Amino acid sequence: MLRWPSIQGGRIGRVGRLTALFATLLLGMASSGQSQQGLPRDLIVRGLSFKGNHAINGYTLGISIATSNSSWAATWPVFRTLDFLGEKRYFDETEFRRDVLRIQALYRLSGFLEAKVDTVVHRTRKDVHIQFIITEGTPIRVTRLLVSGAETAVPTKEIVQHLPLREGKPFSRFLLRASADTIRTILQNSGYPFVEVYSGYDLDSAARSAEVTYTVDPGKLARISAVAVTGARQIQPSVVRRAVGLRSGQKFSQAALAETQRNLYRTDLFTYVSVSLVDSVRNSPDDSLVAIQVQVNEGKLRVVRAGAGYGALDCFRGIAGWTGRNFFGGGRSLDVSARLSKVGTQLCPGLISDKDSVRRALNYELAATFREPFLFTRSTSGALSFFAERHSEVNTFTRISRGGELTVTQLFGLNSPVNFTYDLSSGRTIADPAIYCTLLNVCQLEDTIFSARRRESTLGAGINWNRANSVMDPSRGTVLSVQLRYAAPLIGSDDQRQFTRGSLELAAYHSLGLRTVFAWRVRLGALLPAQLGFLAATKRFVPPDERFYLGGPNTVRGYGQNELGPLVRVRTRKPLQNSEGKDSVVNGVVVEDTLYRASPTGGDRVVLGNAELRFPIYQRLSGALFVDVGEIYGGEPRAPAEVLHVTPGIGLRFATPIGPIRVDVGYNPQDPTPSPLYEAVPPELRKVEDAFRPTQKWSDRFHVHLSVGQPF
């Protein structure tokens, strides 16, 4: 059998050459990064690509070499003539030659011993375009994989099926080490903390085959003898033990140690948590009892917070709150908060157009929440909240309510909570009378039927499955959210406050290179309205504050807030004022100014789609190209043709510690939505036109949105 001396190996103690080679690669990359920063360069890398690579993707190859492409804005022909745009990377001839060796080494470590790397370099006076052409060749494949010594602890079949290195697949040094770690983890989770794993392999270059063996010494099955807690001062050790999923006599599990650490962090009581073995090495072959030490550092138990900000839709806003942790002991907490918005609306351009004083009034929310971190089990928590709020949507409705909510949260995995809620509140919804006139044919200017205070009782359930790598600005992963709510007299709700509402939202983020991300989102929603009787007729009705709306900085950016979908308009006339503040009169006739007010009516079904390419421009500044698609269905009045509305746009983002500050400009190619036109003739509204379409200027097709945080 022919052996290749440079890569033949044995047990894990003889893999030093592999470690040295890998370290050499890392040191070479580090030194290259320093050389690129420290020495002047003339050629800017405007293009970098790989051809012929199938076993290793381009992203992995790109981060394994020193040469890197300039940013998106510095490579596109349209923008690269502007020197201040984009981050530029320079060409280093020496490191480029080393990159060929780095790629070859990476392929050899991945089982492709005959891989060859050629290059095509196109140079101009200032720029360089590089392509690596890879011929992978036939890989060494694993023909036999044997695990021995673990039969008494864990069935061999169960171990083999979880290994990343498999028979018939290319032989990879990285997967060889990863498989040894996997075996170690499986046995540590099965009660063997001091397991030792030895790996060996034989390569036959001529036959393109590799035989891999793992010899396992599991050691003794260990049980926990004691759990010691250190570092707790104001918080009783019993609180810590309540979160610890470890007990004396329990079989050791490394996964249980990690779960204990997560549970303690989840209480928000500690700034540091360490859960480890007291003895981290085997003292004797007869070890069968181990002690666990839980070390914690307490955080602040009383926290006061305050903040202020500005938003285009809710003007100046402020928040203040107080949190008491370990409230009444047991790790419980009490949080009291107050929020104000729509402060100084006369100074906010986004609210000046809304002439309704009710919708421009101060918004507030006062809330007190008591949380129990471990309700039934360590993965179940509960919260009881009481609130009073006033919330208004632009040109749509105002909701004033007070009540309470009970929430039970069951945690599955790391970031997959399922919430069950019961909400009981008393409140009233104030909306434009034209909305009720359109929906229910109740056309009284003085709305006393629907603005009366009513009781609402709802049951809700929701799941959030978050696998994104960041909360504020994700670049990889997915987020799934499903929400259901049900309100009916059967559970204590008023007749006019009954509905079934469900929504599903899926967002995904794909990294396309350094700081370049393609993100997309799909949202679906539906309402099942109740059958209500009005004026000897039966109507399907859902309160305005529960209906679906689209348009604005976080949905379809080619429209203003809530402006996409069916709406109604009301015409009002008022005398024009002259310079003396008196009515203008021409030929004995008072000159009147005609104003139009639009109020969205919403719908009972919604479809929303967003696609966005986010790319770097310069340091903290980045840009975005986006397309938003959406439609509201089932609303009144119904549009002549309910089709998806598509609005493209561009945006800028500036990274800050609280999230990116975002400016988006959306373009709406559609004409204004036709709608019923009403005029106030006290004491009621009268329909003037069935399908009124206002005139539109070219500039009205553009909508500018200023906000903080990514749209999704």
Sign of CA dihedral 513, 706, 666, 611: positive
CATH of domain 223-298: 3.10.20.310
Check: pTM over 0.95? Answer yes or no.
Answer: no
Task: Kindly state the average pLDDT of the residues 521-548.
Answer: 81
Tens digit of pLDDT for each residue in 142-199?
A: 999 999 999 989 999 999 999 999 999 999 999 999 999 999 999 999 999 999 999 9
User: pLDDT averaged over the chain?
Assistant: 84
Residue 349 pLDDT class (50, 70, 90 cuts): low
- Give the containing element (helix H, strand E) for 712: none
3-state secondary structure of 232: coil
**Distance between CA 353 and CA 351 in Å, rounded?**
5
Torsion (CA) 306, 311, 314, 315 in degrees, nearest 10: 80
Instruction: Please give the C-alpha separations between residue 5 and each of 202, 381, 606, in angstroms, as whole numbers.
Output: 11, 58, 65
- CATH 3.10.20.310 in the chain is located at 40-135, 223-298
Task: Kindly state the average pLDDT of the residues 394-417.
Answer: 88
Residue 501 pLDDT class (50, 70, 90 cuts): very high
Give the per-residue pLDDT at 3: 32
**Distance between CA 340 and CA 399 in Å, rounded?**
15
Tens digit of pLDDT for each residue in 419-449?
A: 999 999 999 988 888 887 777 666 665 655 6
Give the per-residue pLDDT at 642: 58
pLDDT above 50: residue 51 = yes
* Token reading at 650: 């561009």
* SS3 per residue for 39-101: CCCCCEEEEEEEECCCCCCHHHHHHCCCCCCCCHHHCCCCCCCCCCCCCCCECCHHHHHHHHH
3-state secondary structure of 476: coil
For residue 228, how many other CB atoms are within 10 A of its CB? 11
pLDDT above 70: residue 663 = yes
Select from 196, 197, 207 the least CA-distant residue to 142: 207
Give the per-residue pLDDT at 602: 87
Residue 77 pLDDT class (50, 70, 90 cuts): low
3-state secondary structure of 501: strand
**Distance between CA 475 and CA 354 in Å, rounded?**
37
Antiparallel, parallel or unpaired: β 605-618 and 516-534: antiparallel
Q: How many CA atoms lie within 13 A of 440 on its CB side?
A: 24
Give the per-residue pLDDT at 86: 65
3-state secondary structure of 429: strand
Select from 647, 668, 641, 673 the least CA-distant residue to 565: 673
Tens digit of pLDDT for each residue in 85-127?
A: 667 788 999 999 999 999 999 999 999 999 999 999 998 888 8
pLDDT above 50: residue 250 = yes
Give the per-residue pLDDT at 139: 93
Q: Which amino acid is at 42?
A: D
Give the per-residue pLDDT at 365: 95
* Token reading at 285: 């072959």
* Token reading at 431: 């909306």
pLDDT above 90 covers a percentage of the chain that reads: 45
Give the per-residue pLDDT at 26: 41
Give the per-residue pLDDT at 505: 97
Give the per-residue pLDDT at 42: 76
Lowest mean pLDDT among 294-308, 528-542, 557-571: 528-542
pLDDT above 50: residue 23 = no
β-pair partners for 170: 141
Give the end-to-end CA distance of the chain in Å, rounded to a whole number.
58
Task: Kindly state the average pLDDT of the residues 524-545.
Answer: 78
Q: CA 424, 425, 428: angle at the middle one, nearest 5? A: 150
Residue 515 or residue 449, greater confidence: 515
- 637 cis-preceded (ω within 30 degrees of 0): yes
Give the per-residue pLDDT at 442: 66
Domain 40-135 adopts which CATH fold? Answer: Ubiquitin-like (UB roll) (3.10.20)
Q: CA 387, 503, 367: angle at the middle one, nearest 5? A: 10
**Distance between CA 559 and CA 649 in Å, rounded?**
11
Q: Which amino acid is at 92?
A: D
Residue 627 or residue 358, greater confidence: 627
Give the per-residue pLDDT at 449: 62
Tens digit of pLDDT for each residue in 313-323?
A: 778 889 999 99
Give the per-residue pLDDT at 73: 63
**Distance between CA 461 and CA 464 in Å, rounded?**
10
**Distance between CA 561 and CA 354 in Å, rounded?**
12
